[in-house]
Amino acid sequence: MISPALGGAFHIEAIHPLVDGGRFPVKRIVGEPIEVEADIYRDGHDIIAAALLWRREVDRDWQRVPMQHDVNDRWHGQFVPCQLGRHLYAIEAWTDQFATWRHGFELKLNAGQDVSLDALEGAELLSRTAASDQVGAVIQRQCQLFLESGDYQALLAPELMAAMALAQPRPDLTRSPALPLMVDRPRARAGAWYEMVPRSQGRTPGQHGTFRDCIARLPDIAAMGFDVLYLTPIHPIGRTNRKGRNNALAAAPGDPGSFYAIGSAEGGHDAVHPELGTIEDFRALVAACRTVNLEVALDIAVQCSPDHPWLRQHPNWFRRRPDGSMRFAENPPKKYEDIVNPDFACDDAGSLWNALRDVLLFWVAEGVSIFRIDNPHTKPFRFWEWLIREVQLRHPDVIFLAEAFTRPKLMKGLAKLGFTQSYTYFTWRVQKWEIEQYLRELTGVPERDFFRPNFFVNTPDILPFHLQSGEPWVFKARLALAATLSASYGIYNGFELLEHRPIPGREEYLDSEKYEIKVRDWDQPGHLKSYIRDLNQARRRHPALLQTNDLRFVEINDEHVIGFIKRSLDGRNTVGVAIALSGEVHDVWFPLGDTLVEVGGELKPPVAVENLITGERLPVQWGGLQLRIDPARDPALLFQCLA
- Binding-site residue positions for alpha-maltose 1-phosphate: 243, 303, 338, 375, 514-515
> What stretches of 502-615 adopt beta strand conformation (E)?
551-553, 561-567, 574-580, 586-591, 597-599, 602-604, 608-611
Q: Could you give the count of Cα atoms lying within 13 Å of 384 in the half-sphere of its Cβ?
A: 27
Determine contact, residues 415/373, Cβ cutoff 8 Å: no
Count Cβ atoms within 10 A of the Cβ of residue 276 and give its class: 0-12 exposed, 13-18 middle, 19 or more buried: buried
Instruction: Tell me the C-alpha distance between 643 and 633, whole Å.
Output: 29
Decide: helix, strand or coil at residue 565. Answer: strand
Q: What is the spatial distance between Cα 93 and Cα 68, in angstroms, rounded to a whole number?
A: 11
What are the DSSP E strand ranges found in 368-498?
Answer: 370-374, 399-403, 421-422, 454-456, 488-492
Chain-centre distance for alpha carbon 444: 14
Residues annotated within the binding site are 243, 303, 338, 375, 514-515
Between strands 488-492 and 551-553, the pairing is unpaired
Q: In the 8-state DSSP scheme, what is residue 106? A: H
Q: Name which of 378, 439, 448 is nearest 415 in CA terms.
A: 448
State the DSSP string of 335-391. Answer: EEEEEE-B-TTSTTHHHHHHHHHHHHHHHHHTT--EEEEESGGGS-HHHHHHHHHHH
C-alpha–C-alpha distance, residues 71 and 41, integer Å:
11
Judge contact between 388 and 414, C-beta under 8 A: no
With 0-12 / 13-18 / 19 or more C-beta atoms within 10 angstroms meaning exposed / middle / buried, residue 557 is exposed
CA atoms within a 13 Å half-sphere pointing along the CA-CB vector of 44: 9
The one-letter code for the residue type at 444 is G
Active site residues: 374, 403
Positive or negative, the CA dihedral 529, 532, 534, 536 is negative
DSSP 8-state class, residue 619: E
What is the greatest pairwise CA distance in the chain? 104
